Each structure stands twice: as C-alpha cells, then as structure tokens.
Amino acid sequence: MTAYLLLGCRAVIAVVFATSALAKLRARRDFASALRVMAVLPPRLTGLAVVGVPAAEAALALLAWAPGPIATWAFFASGGLIALFTAVLVRLLRRGADVSCSCFGASGVPVSKAHVGRNLVLMAVVGAGLAASAAPDPGGLGAAGAAVALLAAAFASALIIATDTLVELFTAAR
C-alpha cells in the first residue's frame, strides 16, 4: 500500500511543480511583475527569484522520483518551498493586497483563502509522500494499483493547478 501512496505523491509533486515552473518560465515578465506588485522581496532580488523559483520547482519535480533518501529529502524540501509560498500568500491576505498569485502563469484572480487551502492540500501530499518515502520497504507495485494511483494523482494535480479557474468560476456564480 505504501508503494502506491508514494507513487501518487511523487506524481502530484512532479506534475504540480513542473507545471508551475514551466508557466513561470514561459511568462517570466509576468512573474517578475507579480513579484514586484506583491512587494515581498527587495527589488534587487526579483531577477534572482524569477530564475531561482522555477529552477527549484523543476529540480524538486525531478528529485521526487529519485530513490531512497533523495526522495525523502525532495519531499522535505518541497514542503519547505510550499510553506514559503503559503507564508507569502498569508502575508498578502493580511495586508489586503489585491494581487494575483501567478503560481501557474499569468492570472487575474486575486490571492484568496482558496490559494492557502490549495497549499495546505499540497502540504498534506508532501507529508504523505515524506512518510511513504521514509518507510522501510514500500513493497511492490501491481499494474492495476499503479494505474489507480496515477489516475488519482492526475485528478488531484488538475484540481490543484486549476485553483485560479475554480475560484473565478465559483466567485462569478455568486
């Protein structure tokens, strides 16, 4: 059972971080602009963050698939990065800032509690992956179980990535 949990958590972290990294790289100017508007970094560090954040996300997406202790470290580091992102979101909410997240590319949806909720879900995935990767013997994988784990991971990843769209959809419906 642990092997399926580990597979699913690896897939979610890999898909979410890879998608986020690619979106930021494709829209570097938008990401830099969002960072400046958020005012969470000194302006001189914006260029470094525009390169460093997607690089860290891409590295963690790959490292989640590494064997043994490397995967455990990757889950731990993923949790740290998500915690940092969550702290930024909470700070923006407390300031009442009307800015978009730019987590998965350019977005006009302002940061909301839904973004914090999304990150808490990701933290739960990281925690489960951390526990599964540290387990002594995760066991083997059967084809049917692996398919179910990957399908569940694909569904979870799609919901996580679509947070802005879902927030926009449900707030427009009010």
- 136-173 confidence digits (pLDDT tens): 876 778 899 999 999 999 999 999 998 878 877 777 65
Summarised one tens digit per residue, pLDDT across range 23-75 is 999 989 988 988 888 888 999 999 999 999 999 999 999 999 998 889 999 99
Q: What residue spans define the domains of the chain? A: 2-172
Q: Return the pLDDT at 138.
A: 65
- Positive or negative torsion for Cα 143, 148, 153, 154: positive
pLDDT of 135 above 60: yes
pTM over 0.85: yes
More confident residue, 137 or 84: 84
SS3 annotation, 99-157: CECCECECCCCECCHHHHHHHHHHHHHHHHHHHHHHCCCCCCCCHHHHHHHHHHHHHHH
pLDDT at 12 over 90: yes
